[in-house]
Amino acid sequence: MVQLDDLDRAILRLLKEDARLTISEIAERLNRPESTVHFRIKKLQERGIIDRYTIVLGEALRPKAVALVYIQVETPIIEDFLEKYINHIMKTLSILPNVLAVARSTKDSLVALVGEENEEKLNKFIDETIRVLPTLKRVEVIPLTELVKGGDVIGFLVRV
């Protein structure tokens, strides 16, 4: 289990909000000496608690229509092929730029997060690129119309 005290957490929360804050700004906000904040951030990085620093892309680059696509793969007669089928589909989907994320679910299923400029293009993409993949048994589309929590996750995932 990871050991973090209140100061560590306060620093992480500030950096999550704005990773450009300087050590002296953080020190001032938390009313702690700069040397302490400097040491804590160094430790958080060394321990891998802070994995990396990144940017979130703005609205202009985010797809406007987003959906989760749940895919169940057909179980082949030779069951060992199932693993091959599913790996192939996951790899195929991962390469596509408008597939934002891919996750394996159960032995025979996976989920993809897909995005496009608008609903029409999104449906076209799902119909013409996903549904036609071989060995699929079932495809369920769950449109995401409004992100209530974790709202800027799309800006994190989108590529340029």
Interacting residues with a copy of itself (CB under 8 A): 2, 4, 8-9, 12-13, 15-20, 47-61, 68, 70, 90-91, 93-94, 99-106, 109-111, 113, 142-150, 152-153, 155-157, 159-160
Residue 112 token pair: 């993809």
Pick from 132, 128, 107, 104: nearest CA to 116: 128
**Residue 24 C-beta: closest distance to a copy of itself, Å:** 17
Contact 73, 89 (CB under 8 A): yes
**Residue 67 C-beta: closest distance to a copy of itself, Å:** 9
Residue with smaller CB distance to a copy of itself, 13 or 134: 13
Pick from 79, 95, 100, 78: nearest CA to 133: 95
Residue with smaller CB distance to a copy of itself, 2 or 77: 2
Residue with smaller CB distance to a copy of itself, 81 or 90: 90
Residue ranges of the alpha helices (H) in 77-141?
81-95, 119-125
**Residue 147 C-beta: closest distance to a copy of itself, Å:** 5
**Residue 155 C-beta: closest distance to a copy of itself, Å:** 5
Q: Name residue, tokens 């013409």.
A: 128
Residue 83 token pair: 């693993």
Residue with smaller CB distance to a copy of itself, 27 or 41: 41
Residue 77 token pair: 């007669």
